[in-house]
């Protein structure tokens, strides 16, 4: 029979991994579909989407204060850009403006609090985990040409990234300790989060109405249709992966955060 403390730890693991997986799954499927719309094919949207989503989720999972600073800057900058431009704005521009705002906000945050390179180390861990998971899944789909829907795809990539992140986090963070610049960690992570948030607002806000042709608008609508499936798949994959890691001894309460 589970003790009260153990039961609390299991429930916490389920909640944290489910929410992290849901964020990752929805973001990954959105990025994956957008990259396909932009002309990428084969392994490229899978790997790039996995890397970007893993870096973003790793920042929220391991460096929440810095991620929130970046997210706030991205929301303010992207909405401001849309107002100033009267909704006539390109994706690359709004991402660049949001990223610049995140860089400034992150620099201010780094100046206000104790400087720490851990947020950047955690984000780099996410990058490597996303890269590894994207490559593995690309090879699997290449060798076994299966038709995989967004729900299954999100669940699979979340499980792979989560396992790779948890298994490699400690040694990667320890390796990065001492040579990553403390003063640049928060600004760079904040800029990444802000750019992703800005691009998401561009996508969700209907800014394509006056800027894109009908074919691309239809593709964007398909992206928005698949995001909830990615959210659900990521939630499922995160919950299963979190419980398996908990059983194997990777307890979430033992983690350090930035």
Q: Mapping DSSP to helix (H, G, I), strand (E, B) and coil, where does residue 1 land?
A: coil
Q: Name the more confident of 8 and 234.
A: 234
CA distance 94 to 111: 26
For the stretch 39-53, pLDDT in tens is: 777 888 889 989 988
Query: Which distant-in-sequence residues (6+ apart) come within 8 Å of 18 by Cβ?
Result: 235, 238, 239, 242
Instruction: Tell me the per-residue pLDDT of 143-190, one tens digit each, with 9 for 90 and over.
Output: 887 778 888 888 888 888 888 888 887 777 777 666 767 777 788 888
Residues of the chain above pLDDT 70, percent: 79
Give the residue carrying structure tokens 């607002």.
201
Q: Where are the domains of the chain?
A: 4-254
Considering the entire predicted model, what is its pTM? 0.78
**Tokens 């990521």, residue located:** 234
The more confident residue out of 81 and 215 is 81
């Amino acid at each position: 029979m589970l003790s009260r403390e153990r039961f609390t730890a299991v429930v916490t693991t389920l909640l944290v991994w489910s929410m992290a997986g849901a964020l990752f799954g929805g973001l990954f499927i959105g990025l994956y579909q957008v990259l396909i719309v932009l002309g990428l094919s084969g392994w490229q949207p899978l790997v790039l989407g996995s890397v970007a989503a893993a870096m973003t989720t790793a920042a929220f999972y391991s460096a929440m204060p810095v991620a929130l600073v970046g997210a706030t800057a991205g929301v303010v900058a992207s909405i401001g850009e849309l107002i100033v431009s009267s909704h006539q704005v390109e994706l690359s521009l709004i991402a660049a403006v949001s990223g610049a705002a995140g860089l400034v906000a992150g620099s201010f945050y780094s100046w206000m609090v104790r400087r720490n390179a851990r947020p950047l180390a955690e984000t780099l861990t996410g990058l490597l985990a996303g890269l590894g998971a994207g490559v593995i899944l690309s090879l699997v789909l290449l060798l076994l040409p299966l038709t995989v829907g967004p729900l299954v795809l999100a669940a699979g990539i979340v499980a792979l990234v989560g396992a790779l992140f948890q298994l490699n986090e400690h040694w990667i963070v320890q390796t990065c300790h001492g040579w990553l610049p403390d003063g640049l960690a928060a600004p760079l992570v904040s800029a990444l989060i802000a750019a992703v948030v800005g691009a998401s607002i561009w996508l969700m806000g209907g800014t394509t109405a006056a800027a894109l042709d009908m074919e691309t608008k239809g593709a964007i609508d398909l992206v928005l249709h698949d995001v909830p499936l990615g959210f659900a798949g990521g939630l499922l994959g995160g919950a299963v992966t979190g419980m398996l890691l908990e059983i194997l001894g990777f307890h979430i309460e033992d983690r350090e955060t930035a």
